Amino acid sequence: MTILPLAYLPSVSYFARLLRGDCVVDLGEHFVKRSERNRTRILATGGVMELTAHVCHANRPRQPMRDVRLDYSKRWQHQHWGALVSSYRSSPYFDHYAGRFEPFYTRPYDFLVEYNLGLLEVLCSLARIPMPTLCERYVEARPGDLDLRSRNSEGPAFEAEPYFQVFSDRMPFAANLSFADLLFAEGPASVSVLGRCRFGS
């Protein structure tokens, strides 16, 4: 079994694991600051850009993920949506899918878990990948499990299958960005690209 955190606009490797199945997303773990729980990476005109969803009391130790509230003292939703539109409006499928994403950047959500889970459901629905098992209580890793909740735990090396990205005419392929990058580029063919990605031993 693979144990995953609940991530903000998760990566291509995250979705490659979901496609392979036998995954559980741990909703009962503690929040880890500066991690994929509230950060994602997209491709912008100047290269890879990191987007961070602002949360309250990010430095509070051992804060359960389900208790982490989003912080709207800065206009990060507006900034994120502007970055997504600016980066992907010329990609083949952005206009087709934008309406499913825009509500997450125009209305407030109380909790990070609620926000991330809604985005995960949209991404899975558009890619036609089944939602993973969700566990409300902390998942104890057993021998043989692949636990990817630790900040430094990336698991086996990930070999991304290249696809045509925005700005491909001026910069090299950037691997393992948010799955949204792949979805906006390949649409329904995203699953085929995921299936050609590889994990090392």
Distance between CA atoms of 2 and 72, rounded to whole angstroms? 33
In DSSP terms, which residues pair with 134 in a beta bridge? 25
**Bridge pairing between strands 47-52 and 133-135:** unpaired
Range of the domain at 153: 2-199
Decide: helix, strand or coil at residue 50.
strand
8 A C-beta contact, residue 40 and residue 183? no
What pLDDT is attached to residue 75? Answer: 96
C-alpha neighbours within 13 Å on the C-beta side of residue 13: 21
Q: How many domains does the chain divide into?
A: 1
What pLDDT is attached to residue 152? Answer: 57
What pLDDT is attached to residue 150? Answer: 82
Q: Torsions phi, psi of 96, nearest 5? A: -65, -35
What pLDDT is attached to residue 200? Answer: 82
Tens of pLDDT along the chain (201 residues)?
Answer: 999 999 999 999 999 999 999 999 999 999 999 899 999 999 999 999 999 999 998 888 889 999 999 999 999 999 999 999 999 999 999 999 999 999 999 999 999 999 999 999 999 999 999 999 999 999 999 999 999 998 555 667 899 999 999 998 899 999 999 999 999 999 999 999 999 999 986
